[in-house]
Amino acid sequence: MTWKLAEATPLCKRATGWDSNGAVFAQADQDLDRAQSGPLWLKRPMIADLVRDVLVFGQDRADYELGAWVIMANHVHIVIRPCRQLWTVMRDLKCASAKLANRILDRTGLPFWDTEYYDRLIRNSTEEARITRYIERNPVNAGLCSSPELWKWGSAHEQFLSPAMAGATVNLLAEPSNLIPVAIHRPALTYRSPHEN
């Protein structure tokens, strides 16, 4: 999942909706990373901290399982496995963080997040590993730090602080033989067998 601040550079948006082309998404993400104007509220540590706290709270209250995540100056990337309808998860996540952020910024009632978001279904552990690397390396690729662990507002940093979480998995299936092994950051998501519906 990727979403951005209201009025930030467009993110893969066409007149008819979101573009699923990975190359187009990557270019739009780079444009967001390079933005020097427009809203950059997530650069403020207090705002980034509260967005991180809202992400963790959503996992703690079992709205989703949180995989890789990173908070950039004007957008957020996450890997989640929702435990309820995705649109309700995103609505609640964005509403809670917007309300708190706008209160701090003295912008009550104004749009904080763009109404749209980009989502992509992750089909297997190989794809999750690739997307996790992309997400966690986003601050490095944007020139904000030299190593993912150094970016305070990302799952790589959180894992660096909590090495006991490395390789943890969440078993969602009754039959362990149906799992594709996953050993990716805290807690990694598990997947159904490709033969299951």
Is the pLDDT at 193 greater than 50, yes or no?
Answer: no
Q: How much is the pLDDT for 62?
A: 93
CA angle 157-183-143, nearest 5°? 35
Q: In the predicted model, what is the mean pLDDT of the chain?
A: 78
Mean pLDDT of 112-119: 90
Contact partners, residue 15, CB within 8 Å, separation at least 6: none
Mean pLDDT score, 44-52 = 95
Which pLDDT belongs to residue 50?
95
User: What is the sign of the dihedral through the CA atoms of 146, 30, 55 and 183?
Assistant: negative
pLDDT, mean of residues 63-67: 95
Q: Which of 9, 63, 60 is nearest to 31 (CA)?
A: 9
φ and ψ of 59, to 5 deg:
-70, -45
pLDDT tens digits, 135-184: 999 999 988 999 999 999 999 988 776 655 444 433 333 333 333 333 33
Higher pLDDT, 113 or 158: 113
CA proximity to 48, closest of 188, 146, 158, 143 = 158
Q: How far from the centroid of its chain's Cα atoms is residue 61's Cα? A: 17
Averaged pLDDT, 23-31: 73
- pLDDT (tens digit, 9 = 90+) per residue, 75-100? 999 999 999 999 999 999 999 999 99
Residue found by looking up tokens 């995540």 in the block: 69
Contact 56, 80 (CB under 8 A): no
Domains along the sequence of the chain with CATH: 2-178 (3.30.70.1290)
The tokens for 57 are: 């709270």
Q: What is the pLDDT of residue 16?
A: 35
pLDDT at position 186 is 36
pLDDT tier at 109, thresholds 50, 70, 90: confident
Q: What is the pLDDT of residues 9-26, one digit of tens each?
A: 655 443 334 455 667 777
